[in-house]
Copies of this chain bind each other. A is one copy, B any other.
Amino acid sequence: MKFIHTADWHLGKIVHGVHMTEDQRHSLYQFINIVEEEKPDAVVIAGDLYDRSVPPTEAVELLDEILYTMNVKMKTPIVAISGNHDSAERLSFGSSWYRHSQLYIQGRLSDSFEPVRINGVNFYLVPYAEPGVVRQLLDDDSIHSHQDAMKAIAGKMEESLNPNEPNVFVGHAFVLGGQTSDSERALSIGGSGCVSSDCFDAFSYTALGHLHSPDAIKNPKVFYSGSLLKYSFSEAKQKKSISIVNMENDGSFDVTYRSLSPKLDMREIEGSMEELLDPGFFQSQNVEDYLKVTLLDEGSLIDPINRLRQIYPNVLHLERKWDLIDSKRKQSFSSVKDEKKSELDLFETFYKEMTEREFDGLKRDTIASVIEAVKKEEAVK
């Protein structure tokens, strides 16, 4: 039995102000070509089909078009779950009607304990859920963290699954040991969102979504497929691919990878203005790519971004090496105490990283009073 594992399409994503829909369409049609060639028995999409709970209508139309092509026209069974970026309710609207053509979109955790069986393989579809939701559903007050929640879910499945059959867990989680990129990091400050990979010991293969790199974790049975596209410059060096899993009746399997070539790559380049504007340098590359440029010139420059954009129209981010060294120097000053940072300092670091704007006195006071209020409330409990 052969299935394709993919995840993190993030349809409707905007990167540095650029709508990625056409890039996504390009990669998804490549994906469809691979499905055409590989003829898998199923396609697994492990969450974050959309980038946000209310995606733009173009993203809605694109997903409809892609799923229709694969599922109805090409008659490929599809199993999918909602991720933390999807609205479970909106994504799974109409899912009862999709089942007749073997399109399974799982947004409701209560339905997860009955696997979807395709060609002898049992797929356990576990949409992303907050620990509080799992606590309520399983009526288990000991569930507080994502680790508790996942342990309980997988444990409940283990009670009823047949270990002599191939069982695939499909989930959307931050599994410990995974490498994070900027696009996920913001969500997992403090490690409270982490899940250990041994939760999935009972399963033959665990198909994960959430982390964007296909080699985010080294584990013989637990895998990320990685995202459809590079969605931040911290992913610039990753190779994006989809995983082709060939599974035997005893649950053993081998995995091969088919790479995806984006319409435009996301890359980082570095040099002086003169070097970067030299035809000898830029003629050998695709100047249309999405670029983060690090300028090595010292001193002031007149309108560097617009000069660069005459050659490289899609410069999304510009940095000066000097500025960078300056700010690193400032950072190292406080990094010794990083481990013991107060909530307010942590928030300040987070705010600056996210917005690249100053965290001034008024903002500081506002957040300080919010933190104070939360602490008071917790003390009362």
Chain A residues in contact with chain B, CB under 8 A?
54, 57, 60-61, 63-64, 68, 71-72, 87, 89-90, 93-94, 96-98, 100-101, 103
Contact = CB atoms under 8 A, between A and B. Distances in A.
B100 A100 contact: yes
Contacts of A97: 68, 71-72, 94, 97-98, 100-101, 103
A54 B57 contact: no
Closest CB pairs A-B (n = 8): A57-B89, A94-B94, A97-B98, A97-B97, A54-B54, A64-B93, A68-B96, A60-B89
Most buried by B among A60, A63, A87, A96: A96
A273 to B, nearest CB: 40
Contact of A87 (B57, B68, B89): B57
Nearest to A100: B100
Contacts of A72: 96-97
A96 B65 CA distance: 10
Nearest to A98: B97
Contacts of A71: 97
16 contacts: A60-B89, A61-B89, A63-B93, A64-B93, A64-B96, A71-B97, A72-B96, A72-B97, A94-B97, A94-B98, A97-B97, A97-B98, A97-B100, A97-B101, A97-B103, A100-B101
A64 B89 CA distance: 10
Contacts of A100: 97, 100-101
Given A60-B89, A72-B97, 5 more contacts: A57-B90, A68-B96, A68-B97, A93-B93, A97-B97
Contacts of A98: 94, 97
A93 B93 CA distance: 9
Contacts of A89: 57, 60-61
B101 A60 contact: no
A303 to B, nearest CB: 30
A56 to B, nearest CB: 9
Contacts of A103: 97
Contacts of A94: 64, 93-94, 97-98
